[in-house]
């Protein structure tokens, strides 16, 4: 089955710097790659996603890139702010005859120091 | 719209007890799923459903049962609770049975088995 690896597990940056989180997936049939942000004690929330026919997508300070050949995708956060501090999860989804499965990475805890 | 509602928020069970975690959504979403979240392991898929009467297994289905009698409800049953099932459980829904739409998560149920 699909396996998603996420690095780093912890990331600390200074306010205003950029943060990059990287993920790899194993199943070339994966066709949708969402990213979720989870603040302490809260539910995960979708922040951005990318489909397999797109190489890059940007939404204000966040962007995702996808390299299908290498099975890599990354989250880029620019001009980080203290409120960006949270756990970020990447995921890969595969469509099947009985519906899709979404497999998550283990998460990256991002600290933004003011 | 309330979105995805989970009950209870907290539960303590003794080993061997059974219980049902409730999940309801009012968005007319076709797809519903259950995940468990453990430290350092991300979110792992337990079971999912693409419509009333249709369910399938995820990554870690053992010890759990589900049913989907209506579009709105997707309860998760623990048959005989074990300490290894101590976790935070999230219910998530998506508009369609195909990927590309992302999840709306419930607020979670924190379960402790002693």
Chain A residues whose CB is inside 8 A of the B94 CB are 100
Q: Do B48 and A9 touch (CB under 8 A)?
A: no
For residue B33, the chain A residues in CB contact (below 8 A) are 102
Residue B81 pLDDT: 97
Return the residue matching tokens 């390299």.
A67
Query: Could you tell me which residue, B40 or B11, shows the higher pLDDT?
Result: B11
B114 vs B77: CA distance, rounded Å: 17
Looking only at Cα atoms, what is the longest distance across chain A? 48
Q: Which residues contact A60 (CB under 8 A, 6 or more apart)?
A: none
Tell me if A13 sits within 8 A of A20, measured CB to CB. Answer: no
Contact B67, B20 (CB under 8 A): no
Nearest chain A alpha carbon to B37: A106
Residue numbers in A near B54 (CB within 8 A): 98-99
Contact at CB, A101 and B98, closer than 8 angstroms: no
- Prior bond to B98 cis, omega within 30? no
- What backbone torsions phi and psi does residue A100 show, to the nearest 5 degrees? -95, 160
Counting one residue from chain A and one from chain B, the pairs whose CB atoms sit within 8 A come to 70
**Low-confidence residues in chain A, pLDDT < 50:** none
Angstrom distances, CA of residue A72 to CA of A2, A33, A48, B35, B97: 13, 10, 16, 24, 25
pLDDT of B41 strictly over 90: no
Inform me whether the C-beta atom of residue A52 falls under 8 Å from chain B C-beta atoms: no
Which of A4, A31, A106 comes nearest B99 by C-beta?
A31
Q: Tell whether A60 lies on the interface with B, counting CB pairs under 8 A.
A: no
- Chain A residues closer than 8 Å to B59 by CB: 1, 103
Tell me the pLDDT of chain B averaged across its residues. 96
**Per-residue model confidence as pLDDT tens digits over B43-62:** 999 999 999 999 999 999 99
Give yes or no for residue B99 having a pLDDT over 90: no
CA distance A2 to A28: 9
Is the pLDDT assigned to residue B1 strictly greater than 90? no
- Which residues does chain A have within 8 Å of residue B35's beta carbon, measured at their own beta carbons? 104
DSSP B84: G
The pLDDT-based confidence of B39 (bands split at 50, 70, 90) is confident
| B 13-72 near A (Cβ less than 8 A) | 31, 33, 35, 40-45, 48-50, 54, 56, 58-59
* Residue B3: CB atoms within 10 Å: 15
Q: Cβ of A95 and B98 within 8 Å? A: yes
Contact A94 B54 (CB under 8 A): no
């Amino acid at each position: 089955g699909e396996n998603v690896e996420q690095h780093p597990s912890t990331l600390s940056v200074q306010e205003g710097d950029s943060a990059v989180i990287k993920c790899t997936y194993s199943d070339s049939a994966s066709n949708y790659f969402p990213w979720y942000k989870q603040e302490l004690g809260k539910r995960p929330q979708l922040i951005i996603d990318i489909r397999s026919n797109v190489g890059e997508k940007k939404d204000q300070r966040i962007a995702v890139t996808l390299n299908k050949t290498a099975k890599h995708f990354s989250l880029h956060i620019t001009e980080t702010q203290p409120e960006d501090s949270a756990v970020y999860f990447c995921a890969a989804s595969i469509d099947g005859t009985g519906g899709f499965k979404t497999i998550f990475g283990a998460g990256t805890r991002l600290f933004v120091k003011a | 719209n309330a979105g995805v509602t989970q009950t209870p928020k907290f539960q303590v069970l003794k080993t061997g007890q059974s219980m049902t975690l409730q999940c309801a959504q009012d968005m007319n979403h076709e797809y519903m799923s259950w995940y468990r979240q453990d430290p350092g392991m991300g979110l792992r898929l337990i079971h999912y459903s693409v419509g009333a009467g249709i369910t399938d297994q995820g990554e870690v289905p053992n010890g759990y049962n589900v049913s989907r009698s209506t579009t709105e409800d997707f309860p998760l049953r623990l048959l005989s609770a074990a300490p290894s099932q101590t976790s935070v459980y999230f219910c998530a829904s998506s508009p369609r049975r195909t990927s590309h739409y992302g999840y709306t998560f419930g607020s979670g149920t924190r379960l402790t088995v002693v």
